[in-house]
Structures are given as C-alpha cells and as structure tokens.
Amino acid sequence: MLVAMSGGVDSSVAAALLVEAGYDVIGCFMRLGSPGEAVGGTTLGHKGCCSITDAHDARRVAATLDIPFYALNFANEFEQIIRYFEDEYHAGRTPNPCVRCNDWLKFGRLHTYAEGIDAKWVASGHHARIDRSTGVPRLRRAADMGKDQSYVLFGAGGIPDIRPRQLDRMMLPIGDMTKDEVREMAKNMSLGVHTKPDSQEICFVPDDDYAGVLKKRNPEQFTTGKMIDTDGNVLASHEGHQNFTIGQRRRLGVAVGEPRYVVAKNPVSNTVTLGIKSDLAAAACEAREASWHVPPSEDWMPCLAQIRAHGEAIPARVRALPDQRIDVRFDTPHEALASGQAVVCYEGDLVLCGGWIDQVERVQ
C-alpha cells in the first residue's frame, strides 16, 4: 500500500488508519519544490503543499507510525503543470492547476511509481469516497461536504478501453470523516501535524498574484489593449488580458456608474469586454477530455453540474458528444462560466463525468 503523504493532517491520518487496519504501508512524499524556490523559472509560494518543511512533517509522521518513507523529486514533472497554467492564461482561458496536478502527478506519475514497486493500492488524504458496493468503483462526495474534493478527482475515472481507470487501485481512508474528526484523531494518535493549517493557495502562485507569475515568466506576452463594452465601444486601455478573469468586478480601472463585470476576453485582439451581471449568464457549455465514471450516453442524463471546487452544484443535463466531449445544459442560467474551467457532473453525490470547458453558450 503506497500512501501519498503531503505532511498535512489529512494524509497523515489516512496513513495511520491504514496502518491500524493492518496494511503494509509505504509513505511517499512528492517533492515539487520549496517556498521561495524557482521551479522552471517560477518562484513557489509560501503556502504550498509540497515543500521541504512539509517533507520533514511527513517524515516525522512516518517515523511515528513506524513505516518506510520515501521522498520523490517530481520538480521536473511539476514544470508541466506550470506550463499548462501559463499557456491557458495566455490563451484567454481560466486554468485549474490543482485538478491537473491530481490527474498528471498524484494519480498519474505516482501510480506509475506504485506499479514499479509492486504496490497494489495507492491511498491519499483527499476528502472523497470510493463506493465499491456494486463491484464497479464509483467516486462519491465526502461525508464532510464543506471539505469535499471529489471535484478535483474527476479525472481519476474513465471507462476501460476509453481511459485508464485509477479508481480500481485507489483508497481514500478519511472520506467518511469530518475535518474536526480528522484533527481529533491526529491529536489522539500524537501526530504532530494535528494543528497544521490547510493549504490555501496554488503552491506556485505567491499571494494569489496570478498575473505576477505570468509576467515573471513571459513579460513580453503582456501588451496594452482595449477595454470595451458589449457594443464594442472603447472604455479604457489595459496592460494585458491576463490581468483579468471572467466574472471579475473589482480593480477594473473603469467607472461607468452601474457595476461592470468582465464578460469576455479575446487573446488574439487583446481586448477585455465589460458588461452587466446578466451578460455573464450561461445556458450551456461543452467540454473536452471527458472522463466518464459510467458508460457514456448520447441521450440526455439528468445531473448536478459543478464548475468550481467548492461551488454549488446546480440541476442540469449532460450527454456524450464525439471526440471525448460532453455537452452540459443548465436548468437555470449559471453565472461566470469560463473556458478552461472543469465542469463535473454528479448523479446525487456520485461523480457521473467531467471535462474541461472550451465552449460557453451565453443566454441571449
């Protein structure tokens, strides 16, 4: 049993539970970089989840549990995540590097490593559950809805012969616990991380300054452009469309009376379009790289669709399209959808499918 140990309380308790259950546990830490360290030309933030300090915490927990512990240097692979992040922003999309990190590293590269050491299972401290009651593993929301992370794990699905299915080898030991219960268990087990705060930001984005990271890597990509209204009238100039996100209201540098929001960005013309709140309403979206957790259907299936990791899931319909795509139509308009985001569809609290939004149909 390989357990991904981040040095946080969740993965520490996950490892402890598996040891308690009698599994032959090996702790594994993914070394992606340290706060202040340059990875691929980008300086990592101070609240990341995979620093040297975190590695020390994970190692101490492993020693307390008396299990083998290995730190794997994935810094070079992590550069792929950073490149994805910058490429998406420069293309005018809104990326989610945490989901990609789970897909490519935690349940990609780490699973490959597990195979190399003949580990049958890979476990982590994610707040989600795997339902094996029907014989076919399904990803389910966590018992603690406020901490649910099933959204960021949707890529671990996949129907055999379509995409590799990682759920068959995954364990999520704390999925039935609340965060308070996890911390209390860590305290009772004398795990020193029981009071350690959760990670709050993308590990390579200091102080949530997304544009600052992009400017340091490729300053030439930032050029002066026009800020326009929905009729094409020029309202002001800006210093690069990468400084704005869909749905943004504050720090626009424009005063026109009624509140304005970023409703569109065009990276080719380097224009940012401002509109009123109703201009953000979306009726539907299409997504690529779909991962299905049930057999795909070309017929409409009722679902609950979620756009952000901790956003509300709203009633919708989903169907499979050719070329590993999905079509999602909302029962009522959804605000502030942006290409590049992940849309995850649920059947109750079970993940149905998910994909990466590349087309948004606004309400006319």
- Residues serving a catalytic function are 101, 203
Cβ atoms < 10 Å from Cβ of 92: 21
Closest CA to 100 of 148, 159, 32: 32
**Tokens representing residue 178 in the block:** 């609340």
3-state class (DSSP) for residue 330: strand
Alpha-carbon gap, residue 144 to 149, rounded angstroms: 10
Q: At how many degrees (to 10) do helices 9-20 and 179-188 cross?
A: 60
Name every residue whose Cβ is closer than 8 Å to that of residue 325 and which is 6 or more positions away in sequence.
286, 287, 288, 290, 355
Q: At how many degrees (to 10) do helices 52-65 and 9-20 cross?
A: 20
Cβ atoms < 10 Å from Cβ of 63: 11
